[in-house]
Chain A
Amino acid sequence: MTPVRIEIDREACVASGVCVLTAPELFSQDPRDGRALTPAEELAPEQVDAARAAVDHCPSAALSLRGDDA
């Protein structure tokens, strides 16, 4: 199974914080400008569903999953 990673398009991010609301264990916000941060390197298999929900709910289409075949 290919490792799945979250990618954040920092230019597209509008600091909504919706990712933190959706998947608090995977995201935080930069205290300076509110933009999304993800501490996770490679996602554990049980984290992938939450990551997908965050990608789906992102209001500025700034998130994507790399290596996600589903």
Chain B
Amino acid sequence: MPVDADSTPVALPTARTHPFDPAPELAALREQSPLCRMRYPDGHVGWLVTSYELARKLLVDARFSMKPFRPPVGDPAKTAEVQEVEGAREEATGALILLDPPRHTKIRRLQAGYFTVQRMREHRAGIERIVEGCLDEMERHGPPVDFVEAFAAPVPGLAICAILGVPGEDRARFERPTQIAEDPRSTAEEQLAANDEFRDYAHEVIRSKRARPGDDLLSELTQTSDLSDAELAGVALQLFGAGHETTVSMLALGALVLLSDRGRWERLCDDPSLVGGAVEELLRYLTIVQVGAFTRTATEDVELDGAVIKAGEGVTVSLSAANRDPAKFADPDLFDLARDAAGHLAFGHGRHICLGQHFARLEMEVALLALTRRFPTLRLAAAPDQVPMHPPEQFLSGVHELPVTWG
């Protein structure tokens, strides 16, 4: 269907009717017009992409920029207040997700050697020790436990500490401020204060890497790159931030999906060879970047699907809608352990695709293998619809707590 550039713009649909499914309006939009006009909270009228095919086309197109920073949801006055301070900081020039080439290319290549498939294999034993340690602790404590506090939060927190070469006790230094900064219910003052706290920690890490370099990415960058301390702190901020909270959400929501259907959980316990595929299907099905990829802005007029996205117009790509596109995934709203979910867009697409995707896969795979082996009787201690979820306008979906029991 041809796109009408003057059609009435929609607001990004966010309200879920089922905890795992994206807002139902997204599917309706995908059927009517997978590229449609969308109004941003600041009044800007741009575009929304909801199909798999157009999502891929758009995200790989080099004619789009990450600037300006324009979230598709949230209170515009608060966004502007926080952005006025944060956008001007030198640390922002180290954050990949805010950068365009050539700077993006430079900063990404400096780090990417540490996140290759081969490199991640070397971390497997370390991640296994972290996972087993958390499960030992869960066993000692006895049922019931909050799965988020006992497992889903500490595993990624300790894992990012391990690969970045900082003590595990540092967890609180980055977990607490990220939670406050990401929570849409925090005020601008609270978000800015949390960012200050997090930034102070990142600078402390860079100073300590300079003083006592180890065998890790940040140490190497302090020794060999021409980045300033503020830029390096920006790199560290993104690594710590993106490197843990995403996996916290995936482990907690993943457990909720698996445990909410006994047959599913038992099938996985009986056949560990299903774990690799289950991880991909969880990534597709949950697509935790619930408000869509970071807004892209056209740097020139771009023709897409019979429409022209004009220079300066923003585009939001709903990764959740793309990953539920029946043209790509048959019966897309069905969670199917045995599905081949390869090609999903949960990590994004294009040059900003998640740098740590193989790290995330490794953590999830090791976690599910150990959990199913050691806690086959694990079950929810709350009704699935009673589990407190992140607000729908938070960047990542997730749960605040997940009561579980076993035995």
Contacts and interface: CB of A to CB of B under 8 A. Distances in A.
Contact of B343 (A31, A35, A57): A57
B350 A17 contact: no
B124 to A, nearest CB: 15
A29 B121 CA distance: 13
Nearest to A28: B118
Contacts of B118: 20, 28-29, 31
A35 B117 contact: no
Contacts of B46: none
Interface in A1-55: 14-18, 20-22, 24, 28-35, 53
A28 B109 CA distance: 16
Interface of B is mostly: helix
B113 A17 contact: no
Contacts, number: 67
A60 B350 contact: yes
A7 B112 CA distance: 21
A14 B117 CA distance: 14
A29 B108 CA distance: 14
Given A15-B108, A57-B342, A21 B349 contact: no
A15 B117 CA distance: 10
Nearest to A16: B353
A33 B107 CA distance: 10
Contact of A56 (B112, B114, B343, B358): B343
A15 B114 CA distance: 11
A33 B109 CA distance: 5
A18 to B, nearest CB: 8
| Size range of the chain B interface in the assembly | 20 to 34
B16 interface: no
Nearest to B349: A59
Interface string B342-381: 1100001111010001100000000000000000000000
A47 to B, nearest CB: 17
B60 interface: yes
Choose among A16, A20, A53 the residue with the greatest number of B CB atoms under 10 Å from its CB.
A16
Nearest to B61: A61
Contacts of B343: 56-57
Given A35-B109, A59-B60, A17 B116 contact: yes
B116 A34 contact: yes
B69 interface: no
Contacts of B108: 14-15
A28 B116 CA distance: 9
A32 B351 CA distance: 18
Interface in B90-112: 108-110, 112
Q: Which of A14, A18, A21, A30: most chain B Cβ within 10 A?
A: A14
B115 interface: yes
B119 interface: yes
A30 B349 CA distance: 20
B122 to A, nearest CB: 11
A22 B342 contact: yes
B96 to A, nearest CB: 10
Interface of B: 59-60, 108-110, 112-119, 342-343, 348-351, 353, 357-358
Interface of A: 14-18, 20-22, 24, 28-35, 53, 56-57, 59-61
14 contacts: A14-B108, A15-B108, A15-B116, A17-B358, A20-B117, A21-B117, A22-B342, A29-B116, A31-B118, A34-B109, A34-B115, A59-B348, A60-B60, A61-B60
